[in-house]
Structure 1
Amino acid sequence: MRTDPGHYDLTVALTYYVPYVSGLTEVARAVAEGMASRGARVAVATTRHDPAAPARERVNGVDLYRTPVVARVGRGVISPRFTTVARALARRSDVLNVHLPLLEAGLLTLGLPGTAVVATHHDDVWLPSSVTGRLQTAVVDRSVARALRDSAAVVVNNEDHAAGSRHRHLMERAGLTAVPPPCRVRERAAATFRDGPGPHFGFLGRLAPEKALDLAVRAFRTLEDPTARLIIAGEDTRVAGGGVATELRALAAGDTRVRFPGFLTDAQVNELYSSLDAFVLPSVAEESFGISQVEAMMLGVPSIASDLPGMRQPVLTTGFGRLFEAGDVAALAATMTEVAALDPAARAAGAERARGLYGADACLDRYEALFARLAAERRPAGAGPVRARDRDA
């Protein structure tokens, strides 16, 4: 058993982490805290993107190292010390789990012979189509490619997403492992967001441009039912690169059936899911999964998702919900009406299938097995096996 107090079993690296909330950060948090709960010593290298967050703290068994931010460019932050701190932690770790896309990825993974690099590839970077956006995309893509070449394994949420990635050949060369994100099975709660007998549609996530929530508003407004409701919840002020809350509110102006409750507490998330008849995920940029749609599914809420690689997989694998052609407002409106009418038996069966496929324990089992195998391959001969569950936290 390793007793070196400076050693970590796992370092997780990404620029946005708690208190920022996104699908990517939630996967990183779930893996870090899940491995810590199983006895591993875990560090997270991230940036101090929220100045109110401390530079060092321990959260749910995980040591957080936050580095100062000196500038912000689009969705990204510039923190010169981030790469230095992350690399120092990686050298003291059996495994470095770097979450992509990440501007600094290529520098971070370069020259770490004693550390197994595992890249979790969430999606290709998506930026608005402008000269600046295209330049930033090219720079990030090059860095991601470098990190993938340095990786001993690449984790993707599903192979459907990987097949559509610009980095597919590099991921396949490193070795693909498909592991659905650890999804939390939430508890049913009071339906406090429910207002009347009509169908209630909802979204939970960042109010970012690529989510194409304007499609949801426009489709909903074609529904004539005065008792129908559309609830668009989630972070609307601290969105990396800028959000679209103002534009969405303007689009919905005059229709009191559309609600924007903003950021929700953990308890309120349970209440939101318990209030919905259908979850709407209309993104036009490829998402590798969509954790919120699966959390809703697990509570008996079917999903309506764009028919795009990655994000369509939960609907396809569970059969719980419907897909529509991305960007088609009329198709989205028709699908919303259809899905909202699903009967209780279909909802219960769909929830059971979703819980069986996407529960957090099964996902963490696969991450733990992958980390343990790669760490053992780099362990000096004669050192003996060390299991994460056997280590002192």
Structure 2
Amino acid sequence: MTLPPDFTLLQVVPELDTGGAEQTTIDIAHAVVRRGGKALVATRGGRMAARLESDGGRLAQMPVQTKNPLVMLGNAARLVDLIHREGVSLVHARSRAPAFSALWAAQVTNTPFVATYHGVYNARSRVKRWYNAVMTRGDLVIANSDFTRDHVLGEHHLDPSRIVSIPRGIDLERFNPNWVGPERVEALRQTWNAPVDPSLTTFLLAARLTRIKGHGTVIAAAARLKAEGRGAFRILLVGDDQGRSAYRAELAAQIAEAGLGDQVSMVGHCDDMPAAYLLADVAILPSIVPESFGRTAVEPQVMGRPVVASDLGGMTETVIQGETGWLAAPGDIEAWTNALGRAMEAGPARLQAMGQSAANRARRLYSVDAMCEATLQAYERVLEAKS
């Protein structure tokens, strides 16, 4: 689509460090710039800020990650000033705390406001439900999967015409096995001490070290497999602890107690995930709470790798049982032991065939270009309604 003349998008996200919401922010900013518009991102900053600016976007640094009411009011004033100064056409919020400041600023300036519901937020009280509902108070809500859309409709009783489902998109150029040279994979092997060993099935779990990602389930399942004499595997836990040093220490102790020191490794953050997925035979995502989409269940499929994922949330849409991977009950050690065992027993030929099916499906349904086009069309719809 063609953007309106002088279109300026302001996205508001807590930080640009790592994660699905952050990557989508970068993708949409790049799409707007490519079509001749201006893309601003109000954020605390983070390691992905350089990527935003290299793509032609602009950083508006402010403490939008805060939940302090006084600072949030200050952020609203800063955003009002930014909207006036830059001639912002539309504001897009991507998280609850900054959404309050962004919504107030949009209302004061009469600027169209869109919010993306990136997660399935818990609401055990009226106050928490009111807090979550800020994401539904604009002109349009974007849900990042059908699962998320259904949740929003059930939780907030929103008019279905005010919410649209747009799955997250994967950069098919970056995540293209044809563009990943063997030297990149070998560099990771050296760094992670994971040499080629055809006798082992290599599993890769790409997720920040936090309890909800289910690392403990996988380690417990690995211990069972080893106890049963099925120890021909290697598991790489890719992701940093983001300050959760106690949880990292807990996982290290669990690995040591199970005698898995040679088979399960915490390798830290990785900037070259396309190469990381090619190093593995199977990707795993054992989340114990619903992932609204689960980008790290789709990225490896694009790279031709089958996935073992928890049978909940958006992953039930992106992983097809027995065709592109396997689904296992979340937090169920026996189910995960069986699922990992099935992947090991599948053998190279079947894993390759499943990986190809996964790639064909994921590239058809989850491209970043399709996501960006659908998002820009949503912007167009809102702008036309407000004109």
TM-score, length basis structure 2: 0.81
Question: Which of residues 329, 342, 347 is equivalent to 1:338?
Answer: 342
Shift of 1:263: 0.8
Aligned to 1:271: 275
Aligned to 2:35: 38
Which AA in structure 1 matches 2:176? Answer: E
Q: How does 1:23-34 map to 2 (within 5 A)?
A: 23-34=20-31
Report if the CA contact (8 A) 1:68-1:81 is conserved. no
Shift of 1:260: 1.2
Q: Describe the shift of the 1:89–1:143 C-alpha distance in structure 2 as closer, same or farther (beyond 3 A).
A: farther
Question: Which of residues 51, 55, 63 is equivalent to 2:58?
Answer: 63
Structure 2 residue 182 is the aligned partner of structure 1 residue 187: no
Structure 2 residue 355 is the aligned partner of structure 1 residue 352: no
Shift of 1:14: 1.4
- CA-to-partner distance for each residue in 1:84-132, whole Å, 9 max, x for gaps? 33344445322111113x22423421325632211110113359xxxxx
Distance in 2, matches of 1:69 and 1:93, equals 18
Distance in 1, matches of 2:378 and 2:246, equals 36
Aligned to 1:252: 255
Report if the CA contact (8 A) 2:79-2:101 is conserved. no
Structure 2 residue 379 is the aligned partner of structure 1 residue 371: yes
Which AA in structure 2 matches 1:121? Answer: Y
Report if the CA contact (8 A) 1:233-1:263 is conserved. yes
Question: Which of residues 120, 126, 131 is equivalent to 2:116?
Answer: 120
**Worse-superposed segment, 359-368 or 140-149:** 140-149
Percent identity, please: 23
Distance in 1, matches of 2:28 and 2:322, equals 23
Aligned to 1:209: 211
Aligned to 2:130: 142
Which AA in structure 1 matches 2:247? Answer: V
Q: CA RMSD in A?
A: 3.2
Distance in 1, matches of 2:202 and 2:223, equals 13
Structure 2 residue 107 is the aligned partner of structure 1 residue 84: no
Q: Describe the shift of the 1:174–1:364 C-alpha distance in structure 2 as closer, same or farther (beyond 3 A).
A: same
Structure 2 residue 290 is the aligned partner of structure 1 residue 296: no
Which runs of 5 or more structure 1 residues have no equivalent in the other structure?
Answer: 128-133, 380-393
Aligned to 1:234: 239
Aligned to 1:387: none
Shift of 1:329: 0.7
Distance in 2, matches of 1:245 and 1:77, equals 34
Shift of 1:163: 2.1
1:93 is paired with a residue whose SS is coil
Q: Describe the shift of the 1:244–1:310 C-alpha distance in structure 2 as closer, same or farther (beyond 3 A).
A: same
Q: Which of the two has greater helix per residue?
A: 2
- CA-to-partner distance for each residue in 1:261-290, whole Å, 9 max, x for gaps? 101123xx1221001121111111111111
Q: RCO greater where, 1 or 2, for CA within 8 Å and sep 6 or more?
A: 1
**Worse-superposed segment, 106-115 or 176-185:** 106-115
Distance in 2, matches of 1:235 and 1:313, equals 27
Distance in 2, matches of 1:140 and 1:152, equals 22
Distance in 2, matches of 1:69 and 1:98, equals 11
2:319 is paired with a residue whose SS is helix
Report if the CA contact (8 A) 1:105-1:143 is conserved. no
Distance in 2, matches of 1:64 and 1:353, equals 35
Distance in 1, matches of 2:325 and 2:295, equals 15
Shift of 1:258: 0.5
Shift of 1:77: 12
Which AA in structure 2 matches 1:67? Answer: M
Distance in 2, matches of 1:49 and 1:30, equals 16
Which AA in structure 2 matches 1:164? Answer: H
